[in-house]
Chains A and B, each alone.
Chain A
């Protein structure tokens, strides 16, 4: 059976078979879900809706780098579903907002990774954070139907920058060690 290729790099890289990949994916999913839950427990200092740290996106970012676009988007989707099931908000308004934000963000980040290597992990993360907010706003405007929603656009754009910076930076710290494990180019180039 053909084993999974890591998304980047050749040379001294580790190849995983399907089972191993599944196990690691489940691990990342659980990690992302826990981070998501933890964040929902923290009080929100700002009264702005949809402005949150997005710690779980660190995992999304890592999975996108190491396992590719499909895996990353699936992770985002499943994570939102799990967290909402666990917090009892499944299929609520907030669920749809998180879902649209999460999927759009993962998609955009995944595409940027593959086609725009000019951006570092931090830049990709910022783009992802901004798209996450925009995705939520788009969903909210469909559900709530007032034009007043668009007042939030500039704030959400700006808010994506620091949150993207932080999550991107942390992901960047973790990526080399992960890369060594799964054969990401940061390790394979050596």
Chain B
């Protein structure tokens, strides 16, 4: 009698252990929800982590929806590509802001305002009224071209962010010169990514990675002991990396001269145009910045690209919670002092460190 009881007890014990075992296998793992969409001229992917996949899915959908809205508001080329396109914010600004102040929505106003601040910070080097110059070169169209020096000089007179008048109370934008136009390409992606990050955070998601090509934003840490590891592409070798950034709850943004280019007569021209002479900026080939949010990261990476490398480093050094890595056209790498802790170089050949 006792033996039978003991056997039953033992068997029950085994069953309980087995159940715990299987249950543990199922319950313990945090899940990952991955989704990607084509937006703003790139493939944007969002990875979110948590126990509740429904929540992750819902949050990701909302994040993408917000990004799509920003993209629609700021796309200058949509009207040319889509016959059914309804006029958007950037269209209204570029069409009428020289005539009378145009009221814009909060997002667009915030983008323009910050861009104006960076115009001052860079002593005019970073200028979002660069749209006429971009159009002169034909970037974003089927036939980019090399403009004549005369055309360049004429168009450069229209590039002047100091002639933007912003009214914060009314949320309006006004151009002092006719013919001016804005291009939000250097700010919209970062703004959208940051908005997406805020949405994920608002849903209570503690760990996520948003990858928009050159704009990466991570929420939380990768694990309790490890940071996120993000590689910086070698500007001259798409299959190589300069090194790895260790990130936690911050944004990393890269601007490079290798992504949108065209060649004529053996010369390659890239899309980050400098208003000094109207030609693509030449002293720098890649800038990577690490900031707390993706919006300022996007602004800063382009802004630093347009400054002389040493001046760029100084500017980044002076800003709080900001680190930068600048690669000059001589393949020299300059870093802000705080970057050492976050960056592991892979010692790529051809590059020297300052």
A residues near B (Cβ < 8 Å) are 2, 70, 77, 91-93, 96, 99-100, 103, 139, 142-143
CB-CB < 8 A to B25: which residues of A? 96, 139, 142-143
The reply to whether the CB of B38 lies closer than 8 angstroms to some CB of chain A is: no
CB-CB < 8 A to B21: which residues of A? 96, 99-100
**CA–CA, A123 to B21, complex, Å?**
29
CB-CB < 8 A to A100: which residues of B? 21
CB-CB < 8 A to A139: which residues of B? 25
A190 to chain B, nearest CB (A): 31
How many chain B residues touch A (CB < 8 A): the figure is 8
CB-CB < 8 A to B29: which residues of A? 143
The answer to whether B24 and A91 touch across the interface, beta carbons within 8 angstroms, is: yes
The answer to whether B10 and A70 touch across the interface, beta carbons within 8 angstroms, is: yes
The answer to whether B17 and A77 touch across the interface, beta carbons within 8 angstroms, is: yes
CB-CB < 8 A to B10: which residues of A? 70
The answer to whether A96 and B24 touch across the interface, beta carbons within 8 angstroms, is: yes
**CA–CA, A70 to B10, complex, Å?**
8
**CA–CA, A38 to B138, complex, Å?**
69
B residues near A (Cβ < 8 Å) are 2, 10, 17, 21, 24-25, 28-29
CB-CB < 8 A to A99: which residues of B? 21
A-B contact sample (16 more), CB < 8 A, given A100-B21, A139-B25: A2-B2, A70-B10, A77-B17, A91-B24, A91-B28, A92-B28, A93-B28, A96-B21, A96-B24, A96-B25, A96-B28, A99-B21, A103-B17, A142-B25, A143-B25, A143-B29
Q: Which single residue of chain A is at the shortest CB-CB distance from B17?
A: A77
Q: What 8 pairs across the A-B complex have the smallest Cβ distances?
A: A96-B24, A142-B25, A91-B24, A143-B25, A91-B28, A70-B10, A96-B25, A77-B17
CB-CB < 8 A to B24: which residues of A? 91, 96
B29 to chain A, nearest CB (A): 7
Q: Which single residue of chain B is at the shortest CB-CB distance from A100?
A: B21
**CA–CA, A143 to B25, complex, Å?**
7
B21 to chain A, nearest CB (A): 7
**CA–CA, A91 to B27, complex, Å?**
10
**CA–CA, A8 to B29, complex, Å?**
44
**CA–CA, A77 to B24, complex, Å?**
15
A188 to chain B, nearest CB (A): 24
- What are 18 A-B residue pairs whose CB atoms fall within 8 Å in the complex? A2-B2, A70-B10, A77-B17, A91-B24, A91-B28, A92-B28, A93-B28, A96-B21, A96-B24, A96-B25, A96-B28, A99-B21, A100-B21, A103-B17, A139-B25, A142-B25, A143-B25, A143-B29
**CA–CA, A96 to B10, complex, Å?**
21
CB-CB < 8 A to A143: which residues of B? 25, 29
**CA–CA, A139 to B2, complex, Å?**
35
CB-CB < 8 A to B17: which residues of A? 77, 103
CB-CB < 8 A to A96: which residues of B? 21, 24-25, 28
B36 to chain A, nearest CB (A): 21
CB-CB < 8 A to B28: which residues of A? 91-93, 96
Q: Which single residue of chain B is at the shortest CB-CB distance from A93?
A: B28
**CA–CA, A142 to B29, complex, Å?**
12
**CA–CA, A142 to B21, complex, Å?**
11
**CA–CA, A22 to B306, complex, Å?**
77
**CA–CA, A87 to B230, complex, Å?**
31
Q: Which has the most chain A C-beta neighbours within 10 Å: B2, B10, B28, B29?
A: B28
A154 to chain B, nearest CB (A): 25
**CA–CA, A100 to B22, complex, Å?**
11
CB-CB < 8 A to A2: which residues of B? 2
